[in-house]
Structure 1
């Protein structure tokens, strides 16, 4: 079962021999929604390959406030944990299961070895860095150039695509934490978006009317 999922999610990017090695040497793990997968300052001796579910990657400021950096989907890995593994340093991010999630953990020494001798792995890692870099640029552009209502609607639209559903089961406080602002601000802008017929609000539920 795990092998079939691994092959389905990564078979188009990684060669068959490597898939077999990952299956033999990786450790399969399951996490419930909101469980911490990687925490800040945690020593890293593995990198995650996401098989099912979604993971949100967060940073934390000096006062303990969290800021959403990006989401991971099935078939992806966390490049920020890759960087920490390369430097043999502690984690600078927190990875939290957005929903029930399964992944396979790859030991650091294997990651280094495959990067040297397996072209498909090397290309996968380099593409992952490029994807995250592009997302970071987009995040900077959003903060610098987009108004808060535009950022919030983009956030909701992205979550709808990620969950393959226009109905989001989410609390205003959770959105506020992801966007590094207050619940009052989020509630006010959500009401504005509803008045503009972009969303429909319910109890701990938001329906996107167009994506």
Structure 2
């Protein structure tokens, strides 16, 4: 755990890192596993040490509404809110890659906020970042057509993952954008014709 704290949470003061290392738990989560479910009471605040986690809302018919991704060095702001107020989760969280998380018991939240300045600023920055991401998603839904939403979505995916080949299916993209696989396949084909991307069986390459 010390390696992850030193490498991806450099803003934490040494005393805070030591506190988290002694009281926290390092957990490995395989790709595809659900980390948090709607209605579940949160017992830990989650720091992402490695991998990637998708947050989304699930509809009554099982459809998904994508919210945002969490990656190395991020924390789940919603878990912080629910943990602090002892409320149940209103979202789903799933590991989309093999993921390593640092789990901090909710009993420590008040102490960390009062004692460690770097934790206080970390929490505030996470709230701000997640709020801005929610605004971006909202703007995309309200003001953009599906072709623009797809272009923005893919650019963001490639930028955040830092790769040129994205392992994702047409159905996964359709679920994230709350549309049909057929619509996404048609728009992806158009993007490929415009030489923005190259389509493969189980991944998409960015070529623009």
The normalised TM-score by structure 1 is 0.95
Any stretches of 5+ residues in structure 2 without a counterpart? none
Which residue pairs with 1:169 in the alignment? Answer: 167
Which residue pairs with 2:6 in the alignment? Answer: 7
Q: Give CA-to-partner distance per residue, 1:50-71, whole Å, 9 cap, x none.
A: 1011111111123221111011
Question: How far apart in 2 are the matches of 1:31 and 1:122?
Answer: 27
Q: CA deviation at 1:162?
A: 2.4
- From 115, 120, 123, the equivalent of 1:122 is 120
Asked if 1:199 is matched to 2:177, the reply is no
Matches within 5 A, 1:14-93: 14-93=12-91
CA RMSD of aligned residues (A): 1.1
Asked if 1:104 is matched to 2:102, the reply is yes
Which residue pairs with 1:188 in the alignment? Answer: 186
Q: Give CA-to-partner distance per residue, 1:80-109, whole Å, 9 cap, x none.
A: 111111221111111111111101100001
Moved over 4 A (4+): none
Q: CA deviation at 1:165?
A: 1.1
Q: Give CA-to-partner distance per residue, 1:109-134, whole Å, 9 cap, x none.
A: 10121112221111100000000111
Q: CA deviation at 1:22?
A: 0.2
Aligned residue for 1:37, secondary structure, equals: strand
Q: Give CA-to-partner distance per residue, 1:121-164, whole Å, 9 cap, x none.
A: 11100000000111111111111111111111111121112222
- From 132, 139, 145, the equivalent of 2:130 is 132
Q: CA deviation at 1:6?
A: 1.4
Contact 1:84 1:92 (8 Å CA) reproduced: no
| Matched pairs, number | 208
Question: How far apart in 2 are the matches of 1:159 and 1:138?
Answer: 14
Q: Give CA-to-partner distance per residue, 1:16-57, whole Å, 9 cap, x none.
A: 100000000001100111111111111111011110111111
More displaced stretch, 109-118 vs 97-106: 109-118
Which residue pairs with 1:209 in the alignment? Answer: 207
Contact 1:46 1:107 (8 Å CA) reproduced: yes
